[in-house]
Structure 1
Amino acid sequence: MTDRLGTRQFELLAATLAATLATHLGHLPVWLWAPLAAIVPLRVWTRRRGAPAVSAWIRVPLTALLLLVVIVSFGNVFGREPGSVLGAGLLGLKLLETERARDARVALGFAAFVLMSALLFTQSLGFTLLVCAVLALLLATLAALQPAPLPTRAPLRAHFRLAAVLLGASLPLGAAAFVLVPRLGSPLWGSPGNDTAARTGLSERMTPGEFNELLFDDTPAFRVDFDAAVPPPQARYFRAIVLWEFDGATWSRERWRGARLAEDLDAQTPALDYRITLEPTDRPWLPTLDIPLAAPLNARLLADRVVVAETPVIQPREYRARSAIGYRLASSLDKASRARALALPEGFNPRARALAEGWRREGRDDQAVARAALELFHASFTYTLNPPLLGRNSVDDFLFDTRRGFCEHYASAFVFLMRAAGIPARVVTGYQGGWWNAASAYLLVRRSDAHAWAEIWLPGRGWVRFDPTAAVSPERIERGAAAASGAEGWSQTGWLRDLRNRLDVVNRLWTESVIGFNALRQKGMLTPFGVPEANPGDLMLVLSAILGVAMLFATLWAMRGTAAPADGDALEHAWKRLRRRAARAGFAARPEQGPLDWLRQVRAREPEAAAELAPLIEIYAELRYARAAPAPAEVDAFARRVRGYRPRRRAAKPA
């Protein structure tokens, strides 16, 4: 097997495959990533000990088992999740059989495909740079597999230098292809698969205590550019979902899908125009400043003033909206809506019911009842992101026992109390707050700004927002959930959080310029050149012209000719090292001497020293003159022997 991989080549290949698989760790199931984490180091260890490739009698059943488990887990092999799981598993199994350079090149080609598929899950700037770093490692490994050793004194460094040159040279053509290749109408992963829960986001269901995972997620949710005035922090409520139904544990809107007339809206303040760039959520809800006046393009305004897109948001979406922060919503309430806004399940939370009914018996009107609930929260409740668990009567447990929670708990308990007192009420979820970037003039809203509040219907005023969380912790409205609870992590405190917020300008530019580059923007790209709407033919014509120019320059560069490197190849480098070490011991070779002439000269002076040198000189002569191109593994072995050569005898000084 003349093209067997050397130790360095194989371990570089293993490192490349491990780095490629690591880019998929965020979505690989434990039954796959755990074996993969063991396969790579175990294969490197066994090969160092001289073990051959794993037998096909083992590899083939493992491949069949992988395919079977993927089908059982996902129902098919199509789509992002099952496809990436299958690809990662096959890549790990490929390492088990890799022994020759041909196998390694096949593995690297497949690794490039698996690496690029990681971008189907996230295209953030940081992750894209990570993928580029792994791609550079992949190219360096490919360079290390070339039949002729690289002309350098430091082969590994030369491999990475060549990889950097190749990657840099490919960037202009890659950018041209990105801009000019016609965009697809829908993403590549729009095929069957269990992809709907790939990202964290607001849900149509809310169970008190389940929000905290979202509240600790400090990644951006969306960014807002206001055309004119910016609303103050206490008015930055972004409406996403209205929850009407309560089953004793969970609030939902699952049964609230009937077509109804939109609740009438009387705007009492000037309308605010703004633009939102929403990060992918895999859900159709489009947050808008409370209250939206109309739906953006390709979206619908539901009866309860919630905006929903026609399709789930699976890639960054930009939309314009108009809202009024001062308003009267639903001046009258129809019977069906009133019934739904008062419904409570029987047999749950008797103490909370009794408390609300007691307020009514005291003769309090609707607003007085609402104030009583807020005063109760303000007097003896604590805001925390780590609340105790609640039992079957969750509202009773919260109100009378634990008295600790975050926005979900307060909104749920408040709406329950209002309904128990005969006041129509509902839960609203969305986002509140955000960080204002004064330098770039936009509002950054993170997923940790997710919030839940309440709306109660009052005669003459319609639906009125009440935020019981603000009664407990005004800091939540001013500074955010983590700051209010004292649960800020090291990345969310002081100057570091401020630095992260300021650096978000780069992420915003990346999202809008690269990730948000869609078919519509591509069609208008050639407008400055007199093409009002570029069709695929125009784009491909421009791309062909750019490729033609690039190929012309590449051909001219290749034809210019290059002189042989002064340092020689890796074999010559090892040979020069051997001659230097021998010269320090007094056995210097003349420049015109060949290896065998030099050996005869040393043998004539010091036969014992010649016996040490003879095996190395003979190996070099065979590799250099008896082969068209020595195998990299043989060159590596020779170089290792030269590094271990230490002359035990020195030449006698002339008398």
Structure 2
Amino acid sequence: MRLNLHQFNLLNLAVLLVLTTHFGHLPLWMDAAGLAIVGARWLQRRYRPQWGATPVWIRLPLTLGLPVAVIAQYGTLLGLEPGSVLAIGMLILKLSESEKVRDARAALTFAGFVLMAALLFERNLINAAHVALAVVPLFVCMRALEPRPTDAVGGGPDLWHSTRSTVLGLTAAIPLTLVVFVFMPRLAQPLWGAPSNEEARTGVSDTMAPGQFAELMVDDSPAFRVQFASGQPPLPAQRYWRGLVLNRFDGLTWTRTESASARLEDGDLKLLSAPIEYELTLEPTQQRWLFPLDVPTRAPERFARNADLTLVGFRPLSAVQRFSLSSVLEYRLEGLTPMRRQAALNMPYGFNPRLQELGAQWRQQYGGDAQRIVQAALKLYHDEFSYTLTPPVLGRDGMDDFLFETRAGYCEHFSSSFANLMRAAGVPARVVVGYQGGYWNADGSYLLIRQSDAHAWNEVWLDGRWQRIDPTAAVRPERVALGSRAANSGETRWYRAQWLLDLRNRWDLANQMWNEVIVQFDTLRQQGLLRNFGVERANWNQLALAFGIASSILMLLGLYWALRRERQQSDTLDQAYHHLCRRLAAAGVARAAQEGPISYLRRVCQHLPQAAAELEGLFADYVRLRYALPEPDAAGSREFSRAVRRFKPAGNHS
């Protein structure tokens, strides 16, 4: 059977919405080609239906060219991204040839598979809602493909009725879906935690060069969230989130060194304050490091705490994960071996001669006093430098250009130049990259750290230990005291609107709840579901039993509701009819047990001729509702009941 226009429009809409769920991780050429083909196919089917399916001479080159284009883009057909592009292309090509009902059903089945693949890329609430919305046209189209009497005369099903019944059906399926989600035994790693080749979304990498953080300063997406055991966060100026320590500078870029992965020796770290216990929920980064509060006292499972007090894992973080951590705000970090000291003093040969000259001058002027050298540098920044997110472009000797020419930049410029100045003056120094600040969400009792909070600072060897020095604070103190929003508000318009910030933060609370309840519901949490029933750690058999019991209860409740609803509709009609018969019996015309409504009506009209017209209408309505329809109409049954109550046989009998 050929698709009518109504059915094809629904199929076209379903495929289009499936395509939109993959926007953002598809290559631009796929987005453009998909929209163009779907749009062209809709126009052709609407205005030139006699042409039929897209000709083979068009479909065949597209079919052969699709895998070639995917290989050219990714170098392979295997993997999450290339596989998704290939599947979406195949779905669109299937739409181009869909002219019959069986083609549409095959396209809808495959569209459901492609739609679910969108959950492998994004795990947030918006994407889940987008996928849920795209499911509706799939089922509406499936209902439209069902054979109907109106199809024989060229009509189509009522769109509103189909959509309404589909939404009600999907809503009714929610309880069973929740039971399946909660009790169905799952893999140790969820399907949507599968590794991906998508670009890392963390604002901090293992390298740093002036200009690298520019885009992050206006990136409002969450980096991680922190909940404190005490219920309250540290002061804003204490919120330094340690990522990586960069030791090597090649004249342009800071990188880690091999020595950075050395383990911390006993006695190198002395804790001077009480530990702070907290849970850190990190968004997927495709990187291996965490961002603990400076500094961590221990490493979580599958992570190592290095000599520079960074936490580096054994594999990339490809899904939302929660970590229990402990940190101290006051500490003493020692352990500067001769090899590490030399690494913290090395400078590239032939770069930034003016900076090296200034450092040597300070070293001679202050007699190698590290404290006075640090203060001289901070005073220089405070008096003569400005903070900006749009600094001038730097040349080969970037640090010379920054210190003596442009004198405008942000944290990367200040931390990089400061470390070089210290090394030129004979003071061991290094760069630390991570985050600073965070927004305290009082409603959810958690600290939200965004990508725009990415920051870089320094550690300098002073008085026999590593001490944190933040040269950015010398130029823009509010960057540390009030956070990145205060520091950047003069240059980013979207930061200025307080109502917009409040709206984003409230929406993040919804995302936080989604992550906790849905995304982070893993095998361990599932195994603890039956703890209140005396099962400390549920195994596969116990979870399957709980699933069977819960689903059986739901199905029995659903069956009871369906039967009761049908019986209620039937009971309303029959009760009204029996009430009418009783009233007629009181008027002197009782119905015999074997007497049907038509025979009874003839006899009643003989005895009550003045009420014959009204009785004929009542009995006609009853016969239509009871015998002409597959099941009694609820609205018609209620109207019949009201008409029976209005009928007065005595008033019509002379």
TM-score range, shorter chain: 0.7 to 0.9
What residue is the counterpart of 1:436 in the other structure?
A: 440
* Alignment-derived partner of residue 224 in structure 2: 222
C-alpha separation in 1, matches of 2:546 and 2:78: 34
The AA in structure 1 aligned to 2:24 is G
Q: Secondary structure at the match of 1:53?
A: coil
Aligned to 2:597: none
Q: Which residue in 1 is equivalent to 2:459?
A: 455
- The equivalent position to 2:30 in structure 1, one of 14, 32, 51, is 32
**Superposition map of 1:422-501 within 5 A:** 422-460=426-464, 462-485=465-488, 486-490=490-494, 493-501=497-505
Tell me which residue corresponds to 2:205. Answer: 203
The reply on whether 1:314 has 2:318 as its aligned counterpart is: yes
Task: Point out which structure has higher relative CO (alpha carbons under 8 A, 6+ apart).
Answer: 1
1:143-197 deviations in whole A, cap 9, x for unaligned? 22222179999822222212211221221121111112222223436778634x2
- Distance in 1 (alpha carbons) for counterparts of 2:355 and 2:455: 23
- CA shift, 1:325, in A, is 0.7
Larger radius of gyration: 2
Distance of 1:551 and 1:526 partners within structure 2: 22
Counterpart CA distance in 2 for 1:110 and 1:201 is 36
1:343: how far off? Answer: 1.1
Indicate the larger mover: 238-247 or 477-486: 477-486
Distance 1:474 1:149 in 2: 75
SS, match of residue 288 in structure 1: coil
| Matching of residue 158 in structure 1 with residue 156 in structure 2 | no
| Equivalent pair of 1:143/1:162 in contact (CA under 8 Å) | no
State the shift of 1:522 in Å. 0.9
Distance 1:153 1:22, change over 3 A: closer
Are residues 123 and 464 of structure 1, via their aligned partners in 2, closer, same or farther at CA, if it must alter by over 3 Å? same
Q: Tell me, what secondary structure is at the counterpart of 1:545?
A: helix
The equivalent position to 1:47 in structure 2, one of 45, 48, 52, is: 45
Give the 3-state SS of the residue equivalent to 2:133 in structure 1. Answer: helix
CA–CA distance in structure 1, aligned partners of residues 178 and 60 of structure 2 = 40
- After TM superposition, the structure 1 stretch with the greater mean CA deviation from structure 2, 130-139 or 548-557, is 548-557
Quote the residue 1:179 is aligned against: 182
Given that 1:200 and 1:214 are in contact with CA atoms closer than 8 Å, whether structure 2 keeps it comes out as: no
Paired letter, 1:16 = A
Choose which of 288, 292, 296 in structure 1 pairs with 2:296.
292
Q: Which residue is 2:62 aligned to?
A: 62
Distance change in 2, residues 1:217/1:192 (3 Å): closer
Q: CA deviation at 1:465?
A: 0.5
Deviation, 1:39, is 0.9
- Give a deviation string over 1:438-495, Cα, whole Å, max 9, x none: 33322111111111111111133x1110111111111211333343122334366212
Deviation (angstroms), 1:119: 0.9
Letter in 1 for 2:534: G
The 8 Å contact of residues 301 and 308 in structure 1, kept in 2 or not, is answered as yes
- The answer to whether the Cα contact below 8 Å between 1:79 and 1:191 also exists between their aligned partners in 2 is no
1:264-283 to structure 2, matched below 5 A, reads 264-283=268-287
CA displacement at 1:198 relative to structure 2: 4.4
Does 2:135 align with 1:131? Answer: no
Q: Secondary structure at the match of 1:286?
A: coil
1:358 aligns with one of 353, 358, 361: 361
CA distance in 2, matches of 1:450, 1:311: 22
* Partner secondary structure for residue 529 of structure 2: coil
Distance 2:183 2:234 in 1: 40
**1:244 corresponds to which residue?**
247
User: 1:350-408 CA distances to partner (integer Å, 9 max, x unpaired)?
Assistant: 11111111111212511111111111111122212222222211111211222221111
Identical amino acids, percent of aligned pairs:
47
Matches within 5 A, 1:96-115: 96-115=96-115
Equivalent residues of 2:437, 2:484 under 8 A apart: no
Map of 1:510-525 to 2, 5 A cutoff?
Answer: 510-525=514-529
List aligned pairs for 1:295-374, cutoff 5 A. Answer: 295-330=299-334, 332-364=335-367, 365-374=369-378
Deviation at 1:56, TM superposition (A): 3.1
SS in 1 for 2:148: coil
User: How many angstroms apart in 1 are the aligned matches of 2:325 and 2:282?
Assistant: 12
1:167 and 2:170 matched:
yes
Conservation of the 8 A alpha-carbon contact between 1:74 and 1:194: no
Q: Deviations over 1:216-249 (max 9, x none)?
A: 2211111111222531100000101111111111
Deviations 1:61-93 (A, max 9, x none): 322321233234334333321221111111221
Q: Which runs of 5+ in 2 are unaligned?
A: 570-654
Question: Pairwise mapping of residues 593-604 of structure 1 onto structure 2 (< 5 A)?
Answer: none
CA deviations 1:596-625 (Å, max 9, x no partner) are xxxxxxxxxxxxxxxxxxxxxxxxxxxxxx
Match for 2:279: what amino acid?
R
Larger helix share, 1 or 2: 2
How far did residue 562 of structure 1 move? 6.1
1:497 Cα shift? 0.6
Residues 556 and 326 from structure 1, CA distance in 2 versus in 1: closer, same or farther, beyond 3 angstroms?
closer
Give the Å deviation of 1:29: 1.0
**Amino acid of the residue matched to residue 433 of structure 1?**
G
What's the TM-score once normalised by structure 2's chain length? Answer: 0.81
Give the aligned length: 559
Amino acid at match of 1:345: P
Q: Give the Cα–Cα distance (whole angstroms) in 1 for the partners of residues 523 and 83 of structure 2.
A: 25
Deviations 1:619-646 (A, max 9, x none): xxxxxxxxxxxxxxxxxxxxxxxxxxxx
Change over 3 Å in CA distance of 1:90–1:477 after alignment to 2: same
**1:502 shift after superposition:** 3.1
Distance in 2 between residues matched to 1:19 and 1:218, nearest whole Å: 27
For the residues of structure 1 that align with 2:294 and 2:195, how far apart are their CA atoms? 35
Structure 1 match to 2:601: none
